[in-house]
Amino acid sequence: MQILRSDPETIRSRELELQRMLVVWIVTGLVFMLLPGTFLGVWNLIRISGAHTAAQLDPAWIQAHGHAQIFGWIGTFILGIGFYSLTKMGRIPEFAIWRARVSWVLWTTGVALRWATNLWQWYWRWMLPASAVLELAGCLLFLATVSRHRPGQERASEGQGGRPVWMYVVMAGSIGFLISLTANLAAAIQSAAAGVSPAISHDINQRLLVLFTWAFPVITIWGFSARWLPVFLGLPDLGGRMLLAALAVDVAGVGAAMAGWWIAAMVVFLGSAILSVAALRVFKPSVRPPKTTGVHPTFPLFVRIAYSWLLIAAAVSVCAALWDKAGGLWGSSRHALTVGFMAAMVFSIGQRVLPAFGGMHVLYSPRLMFCSLALLNTGCLLRVVSEIGAYESYLPVLWPLLPVSAVIELTAVTLFAVNLLMTFLQPPAHLAGAI
Ligand code: HEM
């Protein structure tokens, strides 16, 4: 049995190690976001715009982009922050440190292997399931480690059984993460056994995409929003029960989508998005001054815009279930969700909390933060509108705007990555004056 040493020096050195590991996870996520994720997305969109249809593009390339963004970027950030959260336990077991390292190796290898397999198809019938096994193993190691997390000193006011509501929601997001990776493994095995390429078949992939968005990152972002937005935006107290209701409705939507009841599922997701916004009080005026020290003062505005994108994404997905003919409404709703909501929330909250988590740094440039968020939203708006008009042939004159939107979004993610990398390269705030 492991004996837990808890002298202050040991605790401090383990905290520092988890801080260093957090930076490694975050930098890894940024690399996946930039090259395998966004660069490939831009490349795909330029080819689709050139051909005036998405039908000619290899679905394996599209899936490589989506997987790199959802798991390579968002998933990697979540795992890094999850391991870092152990520093709030007060007592960090030694095995947590090596598990964080092993999990990083398994996870990074799995996600990179998936991307390379989709693009180059080298022994894909073996590599596709192997990548999914590695990803699942990395996530399981993470869950086995953080499941010991206790609320400690956290505010428990709105929860049952001593845990705050945000923690239940983050735990639900972690279960969604695990289910997503398990379904991904099943789909990879099925494809390897019966498919003709590493691309997952359309019907199965549609269901996987619901898991990869509504069952995991959306829920996790709600959890982190419940944890941080009341403080950072000075919002009225969280509606805890309403947020749990939003979660329950969202789970029902996921169930409906898995059954193939698309219209019902999308209507239910719209309901869950409305409930989450009401519960988090995102559009209520602040009752305390927002905490924007170190970040751009427009930070609360961008969080509110991100939640507007969540509502738009859910509304457009109802239209997609009713009227999509060429993938334009589905693609538009997906990017309203992934870029407008998820990426914008990571840009906003990430640049607010990660500098401190990664070793008491101060954000390199609040102005770069503003530029990255302004460009991300501009690119997203252009994309969401022109994808519907162009793909669905309502307004074919919009085709040339799609590559423009892609380059604007590429600039936005590059600025975000530069800002975080420069932040971590700077000395910590308490040492900055001494140098
Ligand atoms: C520069 C920004 C981006 C560009 C240019 C881009 C481009 C594309 C393109 C062309 C597709 C093919 C389907 C379609 O035409 O809609 C696609 C699909 C997808 N994208 Fe993006 N994307 C970007 C950002 C993101 C981000 C930030 C995420 C997630 C965080 C994301 C997640 C996805 C997903 C999940 C799919 C579906 C993949 C599949 O069919 O399996 N994208 N993207």
Ligand 1: distance of its center to the CA of 157 in Å?
39
| Nearest alpha-carbon partner for 344 in 377, 317, 311, 393 | 377
Measured by CA distance, the residue closest to atom 8 of ligand 1 is 41
Is residue 392 assigned to a domain?
yes
59-79 per-residue burial string, b: 16 or more CB within 10 A, e: under 16 = bbbbbbbbbbbbbbbbbbbbb
- 235 — alpha (psi -120 to 50), left (phi > 0) or beta? beta
Rounded to 10 deg, the angle between the 262-280 and 217-232 helix axes is: 20
Task: Indicate the pTM of the whole model.
Answer: 0.94
Is residue 31 assigned to a domain?
no
Sign of CA dihedral 369, 373, 378, 379: positive
Whole-angstrom Cα distance, residue 54 to residue 327? 8
| Nearest alpha-carbon partner for 317 in 189, 213, 244, 434 | 213
| Nearest alpha-carbon partner for 346 in 210, 174, 228, 427 | 228
The number of folded domains in the chain is 1
Residue 338: domain span:
281-428
Ligand 1: distance of its center to the CA of 118 in Å?
15
Whole-angstrom Cα distance, residue 44 to residue 378? 20
The label of the residue with tokens 């837990």 reads 4
Do residues 419 and 364 make contact, with C-beta atoms less than 8 angstroms apart? yes
Ligand 1: distance of its center to the CA of 28 in Å?
19
DSSP state string for 209-244: HHHHHHTTHHHHHHHHHHHHHHHHS-PPPP-HHHHH
> Contacts for 191-197 with beta carbons within 8 Å, 24 or more apart?
191/128, 192/124, 192/125, 192/126, 192/128, 192/129, 193/125, 197/58, 197/60, 197/121, 197/124
DSSP state of 427: P
Digitized pLDDT (tens) for each residue of the chain, 435 residues in all: 344 556 777 878 888 889 999 999 999 999 999 999 999 999 999 999 999 999 999 999 999 999 999 999 999 999 999 999 888 776 778 888 999 999 999 999 999 999 999 999 999 999 999 999 999 999 999 999 988 656 554 444 444 456 899 999 999 999 999 999 999 999 999 999 999 999 999 999 999 999 999 999 999 999 999 999 999 999 999 999 999 999 999 999 999 999 999 999 999 999 999 999 999 999 999 999 999 999 999 999 999 999 999 999 999 999 999 999 999 999 999 999 999 999 999 999 999 999 999 888 999 999 999 999 999 999 999 999 999 999 999 999 999 999 999 999 999 999 999 999 999 999 887 766 544
Query: And the tokens for 389?
Result: 């008009």
Is residue 116 assigned to a domain?
no
For the chain, the residue count is 435
Please give the C-alpha separations between residue 18 and each of 85, 93, 95, 101, in angstroms, as whole numbers.
9, 11, 12, 10
How crowded is residue 122: how many other Cβ atoms within 10 Å of its Cβ?
11
Ligand 1: distance of its center to the CA of 414 in Å?
16
Ligand 1: distance of its center to the CA of 79 in Å?
21
Ligand 1: distance of its center to the CA of 65 in Å?
6
3 state DSSP class of 178: helix
DSSP state of 200: P
For a substitution probing ligand 1, which of 56, 330, 335 has the most ligand atoms within 8 Å of its CB? Answer: 335
Ligand 1: distance of its center to the CA of 346 in Å?
16
For a substitution probing ligand 1, which of 35, 42, 47, 65 has the most ligand atoms within 8 Å of its CB? Answer: 65
Measured by CA distance, the residue closest to atom 12 of ligand 1 is 62
3 state DSSP class of 291: coil
Whole-angstrom Cα distance, residue 68 to residue 57? 17
Do residues 222 and 143 make contact, with C-beta atoms less than 8 angstroms apart? no
Please give the C-alpha separations between residue 100 and each of 10, 28, 40, 273, 433, in angstroms, as whole numbers.
17, 14, 29, 33, 32
Query: And the tokens for 362?
Result: 């101060």
Q: Where are the alpha helices (DSSP H) in 121-158?
A: 124-146
Residues 6 or more apart whose Cβ sits within 8 Å of residue 374? none
Whole-angstrom Cα distance, residue 273 to residue 281? 12
Ligand 1 pocket, Cβ-based, cut-off 6 angstroms: 38, 41-42, 44-45, 48, 54, 62-63, 65-66, 69-70, 74, 205, 209, 331, 334-335, 338-339, 342-343, 406, 409-410
Is residue 117 assigned to a domain?
no
Whole-angstrom Cα distance, residue 435 to residue 431? 7
Whole-angstrom Cα distance, residue 184 to residue 117? 15
Torsion angle in degrees (nearest 10) through CA of 144, 145, 148, 152: -150
Which pLDDT value is given to residue 158? 45
Which ligand 1 atom lies nearest to the CA of residue 409? Answer: 1
